[in-house]
Structure 1
Amino acid sequence: MIVPITGNVTYSITLDPTVWIFDDRKVLLEEAFSDQLNNQEEGDELEKASQRWSREVYQQKINPPVNKSISRFERDKILENSYVMPINEFVDHAEIKDDAKDVTLLSGSGETTISLENLKNSYLLFAIDGKPLQEEGPVHLYFQDGSNKDNPIKGIEKIIVN
């Protein structure tokens, strides 16, 4: 259930979509392709990062780290929804080299090649009804513009930067 990003990158990284259900960056599938969300993401990205940084610094200076549990309502809500994760931040952490041309997505049904720009502007579907993808998993790729909303790239097992 892991997805490695390898190839023409400075750091090969491994994505574990099974833990993203608890990640604050996840997006509801129903909201992923709305214009409001895309505009809000662009404007709020710096603000969200600033808030996360401030919260971490504040907790480290004043309070010891505490594992805050989610409420029963939040847990039930999480287990009822389908989620996608923007992939751009993970791609940035892998540090794609300047001479990279495109990306090959390996799945059980073969290979698909897409541009680096398309990869950076994509979502990975990782949960349906709050559960990891078992069939055709571990992730499906959707372009943020919604152009493949009805026909995502399914069963991605490895991402190779060429």
Structure 2
Amino acid sequence: MIVTIVGKVKYSITLDPTVWIFDSRKVPLDEAFKEKKAEKQQEKSEAEKAMERWNREVYQQKYPNINDNVEKNLNKDVLKNSYVMPLKDFIQNAEITEDAAAAYLLTKDEHKTKITLKALKEGYLLFAKDGKPLREDGPVHFYYGDGSNKDEPIKNINKIMIV
């Protein structure tokens, strides 16, 4: 149930998709291909951050902590949804060399699918369906960032080779 990133990279990486369910970068499959709003990506100003810290310090002591109940409800949802993980961070951490031209997605049955490096960076890996790991046709499925293969993802991927 692991996926490796190898080839023309400075650092080969081994990924364990079974622990991504706890990762805050995961995205519900239903939301992965919706347009991203610019407001969500903008960084908060220093004044807004200071105001949030102040409010947290002032009000945290006066009111009971409701985070426990929120976390319990969130955990119930985690076990029902399907999730994808954006590949961007993992590809950046592997540090693709300058002479790399493309990538291959290799499956358990040794099938190769060639994709561009841009498509790889913008892509998603499905790692959980209905809150469960992909045991039969996993460990992951690849989706293009634009959702063009949403109905027919590349399945059974266990290695990403940069060439």
Change in Cα spacing, 1:45 to 1:133, as seen in structure 2 (3 Å) is farther
C-alpha distance in 2 between matches for 1:45 and 1:88:
18
| Alpha-carbon distance, 1:147 to partner | 0.7
Q: Secondary structure at the match of 1:120?
A: helix
Distance 1:152 1:17, change over 3 A: same
Instruction: Kindly indicate whether residue 37 of structure 2 is the aligned counterpart of residue 39 of structure 1.
Output: yes
Residue 118 of structure 1 and its aligned partner are, at CA, apart by 0.5
Show the counterpart of 1:141.
Answer: 142
Return closer, same or farther for 1:24/1:98 CA change in 2, 3 Å cut-off. Answer: same
Q: Tell me how far 1:44 sits from its aligned partner.
A: 1.5
Q: Partner letter of residue 141 of structure 1?
A: F
CA distance, structure 1, for counterparts of residue 33 and residue 141 of structure 2: 15
Could you tell me which residue of structure 1 aligns to residue 56 of structure 2? Answer: none
Question: Unaligned stretches of 5+ in structure 2?
Answer: 54-66
For residues 15-26 of structure 1, the aligned pairs below 5 Å read: 15-26=15-26
TM-score (norm. length: structure 2): 0.80
Q: Call closer, same or farther: CA 1:90–1:46 in 2, change over 3 Å.
A: farther
Q: Distance in 2 between matches of 1:123 and 1:29?
A: 9
| 2:41 partner amino acid | D
Q: Which has the larger radius of gyration?
A: 2
Distance 1:152 1:99, change over 3 A: same
Deviation at 1:75, TM superposition (A): 1.3
Q: CA deviation at 1:45?
A: 6.9
Give the SS at the match of 1:71.
Answer: helix
Counterpart in the other structure of 2:118: 117
Instruction: Show the 5 A alignment for 1:25-64.
Output: 25-35=25-35, 38-40=36-38, 44=41
Give the match for residue 90 of structure 1.
Answer: 90
2:141 and 2:123 map into 1 onto residues whose CA distance is 10
Q: CA deviation at 1:2?
A: 0.7
Closer, same or farther: CA 84–11 of 1 in aligned 2, 3 Å: same
Match of 1:131, as an amino acid? K
Q: What is the distance in 2 between the residues matched to 1:19 and 1:4? A: 15
The number of equivalent residue pairs is 141
- Which 4+ stretches in 1 moved above 2 angstroms? 68-72
Q: Distance in 2 between matches of 1:31 and 1:43?
A: 14
* Structure 2 counterpart of 1:11: 11
Q: Any idea what the Cα deviations from partners look like across 1:22-68, whole Å, max 9, x if unmatched?
A: 11110000111111xx235x951756xxx8xxx9xxxxxxxxxxxx9
* Aligned residues: CA RMSD: 2.1
Instruction: Name the SS of the counterpart of 1:75 in structure 2.
Output: helix
CA distance in 1: counterparts of 2:26 and 2:91, whole angstroms: 16
